[in-house]
Structure 1
Amino acid sequence: MLKEFRQFLLRGNVIDLAVAVVIGAAFGAVVASLVADIITPIIAAIIGKPDFSNLTFTINGSVFRYGSFLNAVISFVSIAAAVFFFVVVPVNRLNEMRRSGKPVDETTRQCPECLSDVPKAAHRCAFCTSELQPAV
């Protein structure tokens, strides 16, 4: 049983998942710091109040602390915007640049009889043995 457990732990996908969780937590701390230390002060400079947690209203003796909710919404939107503009957009641009190359020449063509893929230089289909016209 210990041998199976060790094999389970040393499997690639378990280790990859563990690394992803650790990197994700570290990245979350970086993004949270970006929002708390840079984006929130910018919002505070524009609006004039950096912390809304003291905002409340009362109805029939019940106190509604909508300021904490407002802080959470602003934090969520700020984090989502930071992740989108500083991670998603640059990664998408990098992927586009990697993809934008010459299209690869096809090395196969379809047999008109059985629709299987055969090499372009083939004169006869290996699957249905029908004769093929020369490739253009």
Structure 2
Amino acid sequence: MLKGFKDFIMRGNVVDLAVGIVIGAAFTTVVTNLTKSFLEPLIRVISGGEGVKAGGFHIRKVYFDVPAFINAVIAFLLTAAALYFLVVLPMNKLAERRRRGEEPPPAAPSEEVKLLTEIRDALVARRGVPEQADPRR
């Protein structure tokens, strides 16, 4: 049961999704504050002067907030670009290296692991019992 869960978690798509959600949520907050605090007021000043409703227009007394829409588009584009360049592109390059077999070999076991393996093998040999497969592997 745990092996199946481990295989599920270690699948590339699940890891990509988790990383994307976490980074996306954090980065979206930064981008939203940047655009709300700096870009939207700048758009309002450039497109219509002062005030909260500057830059928009009215049709039959209904206000259309054009600067807020432009702000949302800019926030989306910044978030999407950051996710692409910081998450998707590096993961794609890593996956390509794996497919070509250029991935660096796994690190050799540490000295502690080697020592513990030798101790285990010596204990098994001393008991005269054949080594059994560890169900936790």
**Range into which the TM-score falls when normalised by the shorter chain:** 0.3 to 0.5
Instruction: Please report the TM-score for the alignment, with normalisation by the length of structure 1.
Output: 0.43
Point out the structure with max Rg over C-alpha.
1
Instruction: Please report the TM-score for the alignment, with normalisation by the length of structure 2.
Output: 0.43
Q: Which has the higher helix share?
A: 2
**Relative contact order: is structure 1 or structure 2 higher (C-alpha 8 Å, sep ≥ 6)?**
2
Q: Which has the higher strand share?
A: 1
